[in-house]
Every structure is written in C-alpha cells, then in structure tokens.
Structure 1
Amino acid sequence: MAGAKVKRVNVVCDRRLEKYFGVTQKALDVVKSSEMDGPRRSQALDFLDMAQRYFSDAKHFREKGNYVLAFAAVNYAHAWLDAGARIGLFKVSDDSLFAADPQ
C-alpha cells in the first residue's frame, strides 16, 4: 500500500482503555473457571498470577490518570493469558479472547 494515507492514533482515550480492560477482565474470568494443564498447574498458576498483578497495576495507573501506563499494563496482563493459552497451560478455546489454537 505504498502511498496510502495511514491514520495515526496516538492517544489512549477512555473508550479504548475500557475496551481493553473489558476484554482482559473477560479473559481472566474464563481462565479462572477453566481447566488447567495438570502436570504444569504450578506454571499455569504463575502465569495467572502475573496476569492478575499486571491487571491490578493497570487499574492503579488508570485511577491515577496515567492512561499510557494503564494501557501498557493491561496489554501485558492479557499477554500472560495469551501465552498461557498458547502453550496449553489454560484449556481455553475462545479465539475472540485468546491467541490460542482451537482445542
């Protein structure tokens, strides 16, 4: 697409932040209620813990008005969930929430 005009988005607005918080909260809820890989349960719980910590940080940054750090942290949180799903720690199949191969 040489020469095509690219729309530049350089603001983290309330709407965008709420979208990512909502998706990540849904993904956390699904993971918490899903089966985990038995032999690697401790690793699965570690991935979930990291996701929850980053999600908590994201909430803190949002409350303080630092939307850039909130956006970064909520995406890190979701990345931990995606990684856990991708390597089979979490038995999830919702491709609208996770970057995982279908079960």
Structure 2
Amino acid sequence: MSDDVKADLYEKTERYCRMLADALESLRVTPMGESMKDVVDEFRTMATAYYRDGIHFRDAEDWVNALICFTYGHGWIDAGVRLGIMECDSSC
C-alpha cells in the first residue's frame, strides 16, 4: 500500500471514529422510540460495540478493520434515525 493510500486511510478512519463518537454522545430517543425501547437499546448496543471494536483495531493500527467497524456502527445509528426512533445532532 502506498504512503498516500495509508495516509488517506488513516485520515478517513480518524474522521469516522470522531463522527461515530459524536453521534453516540448526542444520541436521543424520539417519542416514537420510547414505544420501541428494546429496538433503540439494541441499535445503541450494536453501535457502541462496533465503536469499541473500531478503537481496538485502530489502536492495533489495523486501519481497514477499524474503518469498517466505525462505518458499521454509524450505520446502526443511521438506521435508527431513518426509522424515526432516534435522533442526534446534525453531524450524524
């Protein structure tokens, strides 16, 4: 892998890590989500687990797997937001 590709991968991984951390921090349950608490809890649990896995891979300098984890984690939050059961700041 070229140095440019490594640098791009590192930058993107760090950006997605921050995006997921910010989204998890600002995550709120909507009124509709209150009636689907088990689903909201599962989505939050999955997003948090992927965040923790991403941190593990990032610390091991395994940028590809870290980026995958951060992306999947953000996907869980995005799904909850699109379903209308969760909301977060505009950055997510």
Among 4, 7, 11, the alignment partner of 1:15 is 11
Q: Which structure: greater helix fraction?
A: 2
Higher strand content, 1 or 2: 2
For 1:4-83, what aligned pairs fall within 5 Å after superposition?
10-11=5-6, 12-31=8-27, 34-36=28-30, 37-83=33-79
Give, in angstroms, the shift of residue 14 of structure 1. Answer: 2.5
**Other structure's SS at 1:65 match:** coil
Higher radius of gyration, 1 or 2 = 1
Q: Quote the sequence identity (%).
A: 27
Q: Are residues 18 and 93 of structure 1, via their aligned partners in 2, closer, same or farther at CA, if it must alter by over 3 Å?
A: closer
Where structure 1 has 5 or more consecutive residues not aligned to the other structure, the ranges are 1-8, 98-103
AA of the residue aligned to 1:53: A
TM-score (norm 1): 0.75
TM-score by length of 2: 0.83
- Greater relative CO (CA pairs within 8 A, separation 6+): 2
SS in 2 for 1:13: helix
Aligned residues: 86
Gaps of 5+ in 2: none
Amino acid in the other structure paired with 2:29: E
